[in-house]
C-alpha cells in the first residue's frame, strides 16, 4: 500500500501522556493509516523524523481567531507554532448569531477581533458557510457561541436582566446555533454586556448547552480580588445546569492575589470529586491582554461605543468614573490590581505615539493625571485601543500548568494593528521550552497531552488529538532540544524555532520550519 506521506524513525508522543516510542507513521487521504514499522518506502512524500518528536497537532483551546481567517487565511501565528485546530468564540464574543437591528453594537463589541470584515451572515450556520467560502483555511476551526453576542442580538447593550421573553429568545438562538454546529457557549463576565448578567441567566442558558452535549467556557467575573467567588460561580453553573465547565485563561491577577491559585485549584479539585466536570486552560505568561476600555467601570459601557466616548469626554462623568475606580471593590478593577506602571498600551488608532508606553509614562509625557490621560485616549479610541497588563506571578502559572486538568490556550490574536501579546506567536513552544525543557515543571508527554487529547476530549472530537490509526492526520514534528518561542513583548511577531513540520488533515503546511502556503484546515461542527 502506498502512502501519501510517510514519517520515518520519529519519537511518537501520541497525546495520551504515555512515554514516547519509536515508530513510523503512514498517512493516506488525510488520515493516519499506519503506525509501526513500515519497511517499504512507498510514499510520495517522506519525512525523516530521526531525533524529532512526532505529536498530534496542537489544539488552541482559547483563541479569538474567527475573523482572522478573512484576512490571514493561513492563520500564520498559530500554524507556525504547531496549532492545527483553534477554538474560537471565547470570552463571550462570537460573530454570530446576528440580529440586523443591533449589528452596529455587535460590530463595536467584536471590534477587538479585527475590523473591516463585512458581516455577510446572520445565523451561525451562515457564518460557517462564509468561512468555508474562503479559499481554504490554514487550521481547523471550532466555534463557541458568545453569551455577549446572544445578549446583544436580543437586548442590545442594556444593563439589566432579560425579560422572560428575552431569555426565551436567547435560549432559542443558542439552541439553533448548537444545532448548526457550535460546541458550546462562552461568557466574558467582566465585559459588557456579560457583566450585566446574573448567575441565574447563565444557568438557564447553560442548560440548553448541556442538552446538546456542549460545554460552558467562562472568562470569569473576576480574576483578581474576587477570583475565588468567581470560580465558585463557574462551578455552581456546572452543578445546576449539568454542563461541563472550562475556566478560561485561569489566573490570579494582581499582586495581592498572588498565591491564591492554591485556593482556586482546591475548589476545582473538590468540584471534580463531587462529579462536576471542571477543567481550565492557561497561557504561559505573566501578562494578560485585552482592550483598554475594560479599565472603565462596567456602567461606562452602557448604551454602546458612542456613549462610552461621551462619558470619557464629560468632566463630571470623569469624576464619577475616577471615584468608582478608586473606591469600588466588587468588580475586576485592573488599575487597582496592577497599577498604572504595569498597564502598557499596545494599540491606539488615534495616538500611535503612545504604543509601547505604560499609563504612568503616558501621564508624565502628557503632563496629566493618569485618569485624565486614560479618559483622553478612550474619548477618541473608544473600545479600539488595546493593552497588556503585567499582573500574574510565575508560581501561580506553574501551579496551574502542572494540574492534570489544565490545557493550553493562547488567548492571542494578531489583527495586524499595534503590538500583539507575544502569546499569539509563542504560547505552545514556550511551554515546551520553558516549562518542559528548562524548568521541568511538566514532562514532555504530559505537556503534549495538555495540548492535544485533553482539549479533544473536552470538545468531544473523537478523531483528533491522538496519534491513532483512523484519526485525522493533524501532526506536528519538532526538535525537543531546540524548540523555542522567539516572540517577546518588544518583538511579538517573531515565529518560533524548532518546529520542523506541521500537517493539517494530511496537508503539509509547515516544511523544514517554513510555511508552505498550503491550507488543510476544515470547519468542524459538533454533531
Ligand atoms: Zn478572556
Residues 232-244: pLDDT tens digits?
999 999 999 999 9
Asked if 479 contacts 48 with a C-beta cutoff of 8 angstroms, the reply is: no
355 alpha carbon – ligand 1 mean position (Å)? 22
143 alpha carbon – ligand 1 mean position (Å)? 15
- List, in order, residues 6 or more apart from 324 with CB less than 8 Å away: 297, 299
Whole-number Å distance between alpha carbons of 458 and 460: 6
The answer, yes or no, to whether residue 330 has pLDDT greater than 90, is no
Q: Read off the pLDDT of residues 297-325 as tens digits, 9 standing for 90 and up.
A: 999 998 888 999 999 999 999 999 999 99
Residue 114 pLDDT level (bands cut at 50, 70, 90): confident
List helix spans (H) across 180-314: 199-211, 227-241, 261-274, 305-313
408 alpha carbon – ligand 1 mean position (Å)? 14
Chain centre to alpha carbon of residue 471: 25
Whole-number Å distance between alpha carbons of 513 and 497: 7
Asked if 35 contacts 76 with a C-beta cutoff of 8 angstroms, the reply is: no
Average pLDDT over residues 214-226: 97
Asked if 474 contacts 84 with a C-beta cutoff of 8 angstroms, the reply is: yes
Whole-number Å distance between alpha carbons of 237 and 471: 33
Element (H, E) at 523: none
Domains of the chain listed by start with CATH number: 58-286+392-415+445-465 (3.20.20.140), 299-387 (no CATH)
Q: Read off the pLDDT of residues 73-93 as tens digits, 9 standing for 90 and up.
A: 999 999 999 999 999 999 999
Average pLDDT over residues 191-207: 97
Instruction: State the burial class of residue 263 (Cβ atoms within 10 Å of its Cβ: 0-12, 13-18, 19+).
Output: middle
The answer, yes or no, to whether residue 459 has pLDDT greater than 70, is yes
91 alpha carbon – ligand 1 mean position (Å)? 4
The answer, yes or no, to whether residue 279 has pLDDT greater than 80, is yes
73 alpha carbon – ligand 1 mean position (Å)? 23
Residue 39 pLDDT level (bands cut at 50, 70, 90): confident
Residue 41 pLDDT level (bands cut at 50, 70, 90): confident
Q: Which of 60, 14, 13 is nearest to 427 (CA)?
A: 60
465 alpha carbon – ligand 1 mean position (Å)? 24
Residue 1 pLDDT level (bands cut at 50, 70, 90): low
250 alpha carbon – ligand 1 mean position (Å)? 9
pLDDT above 70 coverage of the chain, percent: 100
Q: What does the pLDDT read at residue 40?
A: 79
Span of 113-127, 267-281, 432-446 with lowest mean pLDDT: 113-127
Q: What does the pLDDT read at residue 308?
A: 95
212 alpha carbon – ligand 1 mean position (Å)? 24
Give the 3-state secondary structure of residue 7. Answer: strand
248 alpha carbon – ligand 1 mean position (Å)? 7
Strand order in the sheet with 343-347: 287-291, 386-390, 343-347
41 alpha carbon – ligand 1 mean position (Å)? 47
290 alpha carbon – ligand 1 mean position (Å)? 8
320 alpha carbon – ligand 1 mean position (Å)? 26
Q: What does the pLDDT read at residue 50?
A: 97
Q: What does the pLDDT read at residue 488?
A: 94
The answer, yes or no, to whether residue 461 has pLDDT greater than 90, is yes
The answer, yes or no, to whether residue 410 has pLDDT greater than 80, is yes
Amino acid at each position: 500500500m502506498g502512502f501519501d506521506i510517510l514519517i520515518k524513525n520519529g519519537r511518537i508522543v501520541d497525546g495520551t501522556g504515555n512515554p514516547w516510542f519509536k515508530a513510523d507513521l503512514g498517512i493516506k487521504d488525510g488520515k493516519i493509516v499506519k503506525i509501526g514499522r513500515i519497511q517499504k518506502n512507498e510514499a510520495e512524500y517522506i519525512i525523516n523524523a530521526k531525533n524529532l518528536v512526532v505529536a498530534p497537532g496542537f489544539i488552541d483551546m482559547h483563541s479569538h481567531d474567527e475573523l482572522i481567517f478573512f484576512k490571514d487565511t493561513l492563520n500564520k501565528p498559530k500554524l507556525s507554532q504547531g496549532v492545527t485546530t483553534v477554538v474560537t468564540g471565547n470570552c463571550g464574543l462570537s460573530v454570530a448569531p446576528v440580529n440586523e437591528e443591533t449589528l452596529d453594537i455587535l460590530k463595536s463589541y467584536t471590534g477587538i477581533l479585527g475590523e473591516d470584515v463585512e458581516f455577510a451572515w446572520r445565523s451561525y450556520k451562515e457564518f460557517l458557510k462564509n468561512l468555508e467560502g474562503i479559499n481554504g483555511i490554514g487550521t481547523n476551526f471550532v466555534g463557541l457561541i458568545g453569551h455577549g453576542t446572544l445578549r446583544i442580538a436580543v437586548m442590545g447593550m442594556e444593563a439589566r436582566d432579560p425579560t422572560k421573553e428575552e431569555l426565551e429568545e436567547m435560549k432559542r438562538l443558542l439552541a439553533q446555533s448548537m444545532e448548526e454546529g457550535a460546541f458550546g457557549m462562552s461568557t466574558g463576565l467582566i465585559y459588557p454586556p456579560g457583566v450585566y448578567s446574573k448567575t441565574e441567566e447563565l444557568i438557564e442558558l447553560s442548560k440548553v448547552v448541556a442538552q446538546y452535549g456542549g460545554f460552558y467556557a467562562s472568562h470569569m467575573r473576576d480574576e483578581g480580588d474576587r477570583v475565588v467567588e468567581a470560580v465558585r460561580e463557574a462551578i455552581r453553573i456546572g452543578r445546576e445546569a449539568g454542563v461541563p465547565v472550562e475556566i478560561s485563561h485561569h489566573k490570579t491577577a494582581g499582586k495581592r492575589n498572588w498565591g491564591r491559585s492554591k485556593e482556586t485549584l482546591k475548589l476545582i479539585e473538590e468540584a471534580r470529586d463531587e462529579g462536576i466536570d471542571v477543567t481550565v486552560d492557561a497561557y504561559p505568561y505573566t501578562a494578560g491582554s485585552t482592550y483598554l476600555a475594560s479599565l472603565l467601570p462596567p456602567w461606562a459601557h452602557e448604551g454602546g461605543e458612542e456613549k462610552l466616548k461621551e462619558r470619557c469626554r464629560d468632566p463630571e462623568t470623569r469624576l464619577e468614573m475616577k471615584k468608582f475606580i478608586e473606591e469600588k471593590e466588587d468588580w475586576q478593577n485592573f488599575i487597582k490590581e496592577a497599577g498604572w506602571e504595569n498597564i502598557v498600551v499596545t494599540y491606539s488608532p488615534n495616538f500611535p505615539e503612545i504604543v509601547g508606553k505604560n499609563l504612568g509614562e503616558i501621564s508624565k509625557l502628557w503632563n496629566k493625571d493618569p485618569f485624565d490621560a486614560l479618559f483622553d485616549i478612550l474619548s477618541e479610541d473608544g473600545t479600539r485601543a488595546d493593552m497588556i497588563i503585567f499582573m500574574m506571578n510565575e508560581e501561580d502559572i506553574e501551579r496551574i500548568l502542572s494540574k492534570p486538568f489544565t490545557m493550553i490556550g493562547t488567548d492571542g490574536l494578531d489583527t495586524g494593528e499595534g503590538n500583539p501579546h507575544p502569546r499569539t506567536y509563542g504560547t505552545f513552544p514556550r511551554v515546551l521550552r520553558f516549562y518542559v525543557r528548562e524548568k521541568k515543571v511538566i514532562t514532555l508527554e504530559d505537556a503534549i497531552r495538555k495540548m492535544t487529547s485533553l482539549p479533544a476530549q473536552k470538545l468531544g472530537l473523537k478523531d483528533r488529538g491522538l496519534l491513532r490509526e483512523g484519526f485525522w492526520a493533524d501532526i506536528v514534528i519538532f526538535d525537543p532540544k531546540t524548540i523555542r518561542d522567539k516572540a517577546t513583548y518588544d518583538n511579538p511577531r517573531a515565529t518560533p524555532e524548532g518546529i520542523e513540520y506541521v500537517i493539517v488533515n494530511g496537508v503539509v503546511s509547515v516544511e523544514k520550519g517554513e510555511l508552505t502556503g498550503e491550507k488543510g484546515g476544515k470547519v468542524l461542527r459538533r454533531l
